[in-house]
Amino acid sequence: MVRLDLSDRRILVTGGAGFLGRQVVEQLHQAGANPEKITIVRSRDCDLRLPENCQKAVDQQDIIIHLAAHVGGIGLNREKPAELFYDNLMMGVHLIHAAHQVGVEKFVCVGTICAYPKFTPVPFKEDDLWNGYPEETNAPYGIAKKALLVQLQSYRQQYGLNGIFLLPVNLYGPEDNFNPNSSHVIPALIRKVHEAQQRGDKQLPVWGDGSPTREFLYSTDAARGIVMATQAYNEPEPVNLGTGYEISIRDLIELICELMDFEGEIVWETDKPNGQPRRCLDTERAKQAFGFQAEVEFKQGLKNTIDWYRQHADAL
């Protein structure tokens, strides 16, 4: 398998200061990229929704790794669907177009599992991506990201842009977003249990009925997969990044409670949404195409995340 030599490439990482971005930058270093040739774009310094900012950002770059996203859990998706659609679509569309205009060597776009149809045969195969409408809560975000796949494929066909599209499953790990207004399920539940313990609560309210299943990918595994694809994958078809391990929300919260020594009662708030019924990816394409397999065992990754949160909870 021929791998792209990163040592002399100028690499732009949008969202490079974020939860996943920091891990991707570290994996780029480990893969031989020159730290002095890696540029990180932060949202507070550069609004990528504006085409002129995208043009400045991609100038003189060889590789673009687009991680920047306006993203959150079910609560944020229900509260701000228009913002999630607009912000993610505009960032990606302008950035891909600008990359084409300056002739970058490669564009790596990180999509979302929310792009899959609500009802998809499990495990999700990449070929099923267009076989239905996404789960309604996540649809604005998922469709905005999925549109970027179409853009990359059409720009490849017409302009020869080498753009690839990756579909990571739900991520988790130390340094995740633990803000209760925008966090995903694992950090949200860890914080909820911790705060219940601090208050001495005997009950723990959790959204939904616990029946949906999810798959989770540790942040360092995800970053490693993204860098491996950057080096070795050059095809138009999207690629899943996951573990193939599926766990129900009920089993997840019970495992978190066990690891955190919380012995209270879980109260299911069945008037709140469940989200997509099942999520689990077929990971064979990533394994065959560029040799990626997840390495971090879920319980260990969860323990690492809990330990990190407990050490930093007072500052979050």
Whether 18 has a binding-site annotation, put simply, is: yes
Whether 207 has a binding-site annotation, put simply, is: yes
User: Is 213 strand, coil or helix?
Assistant: strand
Whether 184 has a binding-site annotation, put simply, is: yes
Contacts 24+ apart (CB under 8 A), 143-146: 143/85, 143/115, 144/84, 144/85, 144/86, 144/88, 144/89, 144/92, 145/69, 145/88, 145/92, 145/111, 145/112, 145/114, 145/115, 146/111, 146/115
Whether 191 has a binding-site annotation, put simply, is: no
Active site residue 141: yes
- What pairing do the DSSP bridges indicate for beta strands 247-248 and 213-214? antiparallel
Q: In terms of Cα–Cα distance, which of 208, 209, 228, 207 is closest to 293?
A: 228
Whether 286 has a binding-site annotation, put simply, is: no
Whether 19 has a binding-site annotation, put simply, is: yes
Whether 20 has a binding-site annotation, put simply, is: yes
Whether 107 has a binding-site annotation, put simply, is: no
Whether 17 has a binding-site annotation, put simply, is: yes
Say if residues 92 and 123 touch (Cβ distance below 8 Å). Answer: no
Q: Cα separation of 168 and 66, whole Å?
A: 13
Calculated CA dihedral for residues 199, 73, 113, 15, nearest 10 degrees: -100
Whether 171 has a binding-site annotation, put simply, is: yes
Whether 194 has a binding-site annotation, put simply, is: no
User: Is 186 strand, coil or helix?
Assistant: helix
Whether 132 has a binding-site annotation, put simply, is: no
> Which among 116, 133, 141, 309 is annotated as catalytic?
141
Q: Cα separation of 311 and 43, whole Å?
A: 27
Structure tokens belonging to residue 73: 């859990």
Please report, in range form, the residues annotated as the binding site for substrate.
Answer: 192, 207, 214
Please report, in range form, the residues annotated as the binding site.
Answer: 15-21, 145, 168-171, 184, 192, 207, 214
Catalytic residue numbers read: 141
